């Protein structure tokens, strides 16, 4: 079986609330070498892994608590990719939660919390007006990257978001240079850029993705 055939055979599903621990582990592996998070969590100081785990866990915890959807990519009963989705309807932003801030201060520290809050505010300032789907976190396990699994997850995500006729499109961001062409190739255009220390965070928008295939739930 070719890499593209293997990616096509992976199942995409809407995850239930039990996905937390497995998703937290996946996101840590997917984002550990991400330049944006390395600066936000200050990888130059001891304790980087702990600060990153705390941040991803708390972002995920808040996502689940707000009953926001997550799409999972599964192969051979293993979760290999995930996309957290913030639908257009207004709900409590993670940075507006005092509980989240307190847990971040205790787990990740004051500097990392402040950096993340400033980063989040700057990215959100680039988001166009109107109803949109936002992708706060999107990751594929490192061993499966570059083999078509990212495209498989993104296509299914577009199918799922396209079912909401009120949404104007999808917004996501990345500071990883190797992903820029990937998003452009999949129909995204850049709508903003944010300085994250030495990193340039690119904010992308995909207008009104159209459904291509069903997603199992």
The pLDDT value given to residue 82: 97
Instruction: Please give the backbone phi and psi of residue 208, each rounded to the nearest 5 degrees, phi first.
Output: 40, 65
DSSP label at residue 17: G
The pLDDT value given to residue 98: 87
The pLDDT value given to residue 217: 43
State the pTM of this model. Answer: 0.90
The pLDDT value given to residue 91: 64
CA-to-CA distance for 125 and 6, rounded, in angstroms? 39
What are the pLDDT digits (tens) for 85-118? Answer: 999 886 667 777 888 999 999 999 999 999 999 9
Domains and CATH numbers, the chain: 3-207 (3.40.630.30)
Which of 162, 159, 157 shows the shortest CA–CA distance to 172?
157
pLDDT by 10-residue block (mean), the chain, 217 residues = 69 92 96 98 98 96 92 95 90 78 95 96 93 95 94 93 90 96 95 96 89 48
| Token pair belonging to 46 | 């001891």
The pLDDT value given to residue 1: 56
Please list, residue by residue across 31-69, b when 16 or more beta carbons sit within 10 angstroms of its beta carbon and e when fewer do: bbebbbbbbbbbbeeeebeebbbbbbbbbbbbbbeeebb
The pLDDT value given to residue 214: 45
What are the pLDDT digits (tens) for 177-192? Answer: 999 999 999 999 999 9
């Amino acid at each position: 079986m070719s890499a593209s055939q293997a990616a096509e055979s992976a199942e995409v599903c809407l995850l239930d609330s039990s996905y937390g621990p497995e998703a937290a582990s996946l996101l840590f592996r997917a984002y550990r070498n991400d330049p944006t998070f390395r600066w936000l969590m200050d990888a130059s100081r001891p304790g980087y892994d702990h600060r990153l785990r705390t941040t991803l866990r708390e972002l995920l915890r808040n996502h689940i608590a707000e009953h926001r959807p997550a799409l999972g990519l599964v192969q051979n009963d293993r979760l290999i990719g995930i996309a957290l989705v913030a639908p257009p309807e207004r709900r409590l932003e993670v940075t507006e939660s005092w509980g989240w801030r307190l847990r971040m201060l205790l787990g990740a520290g004051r500097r990392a919390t402040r950096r993340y809050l400033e980063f989040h505010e700057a990215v959100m300032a680039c988001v166009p007006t109107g109803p949109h789907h936002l992708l706060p976190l999107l990751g594929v396990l490192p061993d499966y990257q570059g083999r078509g699994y990212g495209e498989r997850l993104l296509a299914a995500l577009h199918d799922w978001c396209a079912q909401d006729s009120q949404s104007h499109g999808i917004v996501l961001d990345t500071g990883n240079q190797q992903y820029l062409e990937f998003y452009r190739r999949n129909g995204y255009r850049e709508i903003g850029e944010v300085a994250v220390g030495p990193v340039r965070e690119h904010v992308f928008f995909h207008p009104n993705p159209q459904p291509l295939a069903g997603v199992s739930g």
